[in-house]
Amino acid sequence: MTSLSICIIAYREKELLERAIRSAAFADEVLVVVDSEGDAETEAVARKSNVKVVIHKYEGDIEQKSFAVSQASHEWVLSLDADEEVGVELRGEIQNALENRSDKLSGFYIERVTWHLGKWIRHGDFYPDHPIRLFRRSRTVMKGSNPHGRFIVDGEVGRLRKPILHYSYRDLSDQVERVQRFSDMARDSMVQKERNVHVSDLLVRPLLRFIRAYFLKQGFRDGFPGLIIAVVSSFHVFLKYAKLWESRLSQEKRAPRL
């Protein structure tokens, strides 16, 4: 059997982390990277689970996941978030893939399905979602812009059928709070790239995101949850560009004296 490391990043996730660790227990190594500025309770949950714990300052999703992978002991790595779970069926599929296909492939796409607002979301912006999560670390890098980086594999990539179970938000308030945090990350990334803001970014892009999520990707089939997700996704797009505009404004002008 090919050895496997499962890497989990955690930040104030004490309620969910224990479930993620429990679902990862089949691996040869479970590594949890805890934000150095996170609360002590999250670290305590990780340490009592008898897994490898590393404390590292969070500088962004891409940086933290890349660091976690660099700390793994084995060539094959499964990257997991603290709010995710490896179900029994996926666990068996991963073990079978590593035993029978690990010499031919460099990574695997794994579908992810999200539980939110009382149901599994099967349409809209949340679905389908099939990132590369299982891979050879020597052939993989993480690219993109925070907070939405992705693993890029050099080599042939297969696909697993069973999904990662994603418990992304406690409730709608939690989703809105994360929109605030993620829009800050997106703004910072655009500032670094010297991205400018246009009126279309504030008016057209949010509307297009709603149309895509609710109509083109059939979010309406998920009922009220689908409508709410589409609206919040649209607001996220508006907010990150509004924050970018605000950042540019603060760089250019200071309040005049009265």
- The pLDDT tens digits of the residues spanning 187-219 come to 999 999 999 999 999 999 999 999 999 999 999
Residue 121 pLDDT > 80, yes or no? Answer: yes
Supply the pLDDT for residue 257: 66
Q: What is the mean pLDDT of the chain?
A: 94
Please give the average per-residue pLDDT across 89-103, as a whole number.
96
Question: Given the DSSP bridges, would you call strands 76-81 and 132-136 parallel, antiparallel or unpaired?
Answer: antiparallel
pTM for this prediction = 0.89
112-124 mean pLDDT:
97
| Predicted local distance difference test score (pLDDT) of residue 254 | 63
The band of 258, judged by pLDDT with boundaries at 50, 70 and 90, is: low
Q: What percentage of the chain exceeds 90 in pLDDT? A: 86
241 vs 36: CA distance, rounded Å = 29
Q: Output the CA torsion sign for 91, 123, 150, 185.
A: negative
Closest CA to 82 of 18, 17, 38: 17
Rounded-to-integer distance, Cα 54 and Cα 192, Å: 28
Distance CA(20)–CA(240), nearest Å, equals 30
Using one digit for the tens of pLDDT, what is the confidence trace for 15-69? 899 999 999 999 999 999 999 886 788 899 999 998 999 999 988 899 999 999 9
Domains of the chain: 4-166 (3.90.550.10), 172-252 (no CATH)
Position with higher pLDDT, 151 vs 39: 151
Return contacts of 56-61, CB within 8 angstroms, 24+ apart: 58/9, 58/11, 60/146, 60/147, 60/185, 61/9, 61/146, 61/147, 61/148, 61/149, 61/185
What distance in Å separates the CA atoms of residue 222 and residue 207, rounded to the nearest whole number? 19
Mean pLDDT to the nearest integer, 110-118: 97
